Amino acid sequence: MGSLLNTNILLGVTGGIAAYKTPDLVRKLKAKGANVRVVLTQSAKEFVSPLSLQAVSGNSVSDDLLDPAAEAAMGHIELAKWADLLIIAPATANTIAKLAHGLADDLLTTLVLATTAPVHIAPAMNQQMWHATATQDNLAILGRRGVTIIAPDQGEQACGDVGPGRMPEPQDIADRLDELPAQGLLQGVKVVITAGPTREHIDPVRYMSNHSSGKMGYAVASAAQQMGASVVLVSGPVNLPPPSGVTVQKVTTAEEMLAAVMAETQDCDIFIGCAAVADYRPSQVVDQKIKKSNTELTLTFVKNPDILTSVAALPRPPFTVGFAAETQNVAQYAKDKLARKKLDLIAANDVSRQDIGFNSEQNALTLYWANGEKQLDKASKSQIAMQLMASITQQYHQKKQ
């Protein structure tokens, strides 16, 4: 998508062996059109020369919070404000621990606290240190704060161990960052998203539902919000905190979800149906609790309205995106659904896989639209959501032209 064009990237380098790759990372980021400034920790200077980084970035390199010369050129608060994106690569276990605890004892950790830009970290360390509970706990804390973790590669390490802990290649990191949705690309655009399951009442105490956690829809709402969109999330019952800056409308049944969606899509630009809407609801909701009497109980069901189809059938439909959770013939079923439901784009996931999808922290999707497709490889749901929003935005703007 090329979202790094003209982006101000602050690259923080900490003291790990992988720091030798950072001049190449600067070159790869600059090749994407980014402006790059580098901040080094003291120990990083043992692994890579500030002069090399200065030469490749074309900017002076900062390494000291208390450097009058650096502060005169660009003070640390100005530097924090200058950044559109902060990436720490490699991020050592020590720096990760400091960030998790909010320390600010050097220029880099101070900048992380002082910036409002999204923060990405590419941890690199010995595999045992990566697996250490303390490291994993610290990463979980950072993840909850919205820091994006670029997972290390597996392989042979400088120390001779084999396992996860290698910093991904500079080209991979640059490609990953370049696929991020550019901030502001959805300024003035209203996006309505459904998420989670619906619950269909059987009697006053019972309902029928499914295992949808709502995580994917909430991540998509957050990604759209970060791109500047005004976001309304129509959510079934889930145990998730509302994403910041997003208007959440809580609903329970498919019919309530349809009503909320139809009211919100009258003036919306993009609609994304992530919810696992129950296809059927009991024909009657009985007023009193059904008593245990016969050995068998028969319930009859009627079909619920298809929310996505209803939106796509509006006289002036928004750019409409659906999901296709399939267990077989994923590509074919998804393409059929794209045409049948008159969608602009469909995101297919293979729910027969145990490692992704429903109730998992990770997902992998294949996107299909009228004349193209794109594979989003397995990653955290927030990363997949960012990449999905990047593709939706690109197709939305193309359709509008």
Q: Residues binding ligand C5P: what is the number (CB under 6 A)?
A: 15
* Secondary structure (3-state) at 142: helix
CB 115 within 8 A of CB 51: no
Instruction: Report DSSP letters for 325-381, one per residue.
Output: EESSSHHHHHHHHHHHTT-SEEEEEETT-TTSSTT-SEEEEEEEETTEEEEEEEEEH
**Least distance between ligand C5P and beta carbon 389 (Å):** 15
Considering only residues 169 to 228 of the shown chain, the ones binding ligand C5P according to CB under 6 A are 194
Considering only residues 132 to 171 of the shown chain, the ones binding ligand C5P according to CB under 6 A are none
Q: Which is nearer to ligand C5P, 267 or 336 (CB)?
A: 336
Q: Which is nearer to ligand C5P, 78 or 279 (CB)?
A: 279
Q: Which is nearer to ligand C5P, 156 or 279 (CB)?
A: 279
Q: Which of 64, 169, 172, 306 binds ligand C5P (CB under 6 A)?
A: 306
**How far apart are the two ends of the chain, measured CA to CA in Å?**
17
251 binds ligand C5P (CB under 6 A): no
**Least distance between ligand C5P and beta carbon 281 (Å):** 10
CB 311 within 8 A of CB 318: yes
Q: Which is nearer to ligand C5P, 47 or 323 (CB)?
A: 323
233 binds ligand C5P (CB under 6 A): no
Residue positions annotated with a catalytic role: 159
CA distance 244 to 222: 7
115 binds ligand C5P (CB under 6 A): no
Region from 102-110, 118-126, 231-239, 318-326 binding ligand C5P, contact rule CB under 6 A = 318-326
Residue type, position 228, single letter = G
**Least distance between ligand C5P and beta carbon 125 (Å):** 40
Candidates 32, 33, 29; CA nearest to 10 is 29
User: Strands 119-123, 148-149: parallel, antiparallel or unpaired by DSSP?
Assistant: parallel
85 binds ligand C5P (CB under 6 A): no
Q: Which of 80, 185, 308, 367 binds ligand C5P (CB under 6 A)?
A: 308
17 binds ligand C5P (CB under 6 A): no
CA distance 193 to 318: 12
**Least distance between ligand C5P and beta carbon 253 (Å):** 11
349 binds ligand C5P (CB under 6 A): no
Q: What is the DSSP letter of 267?
A: G
Q: What is the DSSP letter of 294?
A: S
Integer-rounded Cα Rg, in Å, for the chain is 24
Q: Which is nearer to ligand C5P, 168 or 236 (CB)?
A: 236
Q: Which is nearer to ligand C5P, 98 or 341 (CB)?
A: 341
**Least distance between ligand C5P and beta carbon 306 (Å):** 4
Contacts of 259 (CB under 8 A, 6+ apart): 251
Region from 71-79, 106-114, 172-180, 321-329 binding ligand C5P, contact rule CB under 6 A = 321-329
**Least distance between ligand C5P and beta carbon 272 (Å):** 8
Residue type, position 75, single letter = G
273 binds ligand C5P (CB under 6 A): yes
Upstream peptide bond of 168 is cis (omega within 30 degrees of 0)? no
CA distance 271 to 322: 8
**Least distance between ligand C5P and beta carbon 343 (Å):** 8
The phi, psi pair for 230, rounded to 5°, reads -90, 120
CB 111 within 8 A of CB 86: yes
Residue 113 host element (H or E): helix 107-114
Region from 5-13, 43-51, 273-281, 386-394 binding ligand C5P, contact rule CB under 6 A = 273-281
- Point out which residues bind ligand C5P (CB under 6 A): 194, 254, 273-275, 277, 279, 304, 306-308, 322-324, 337
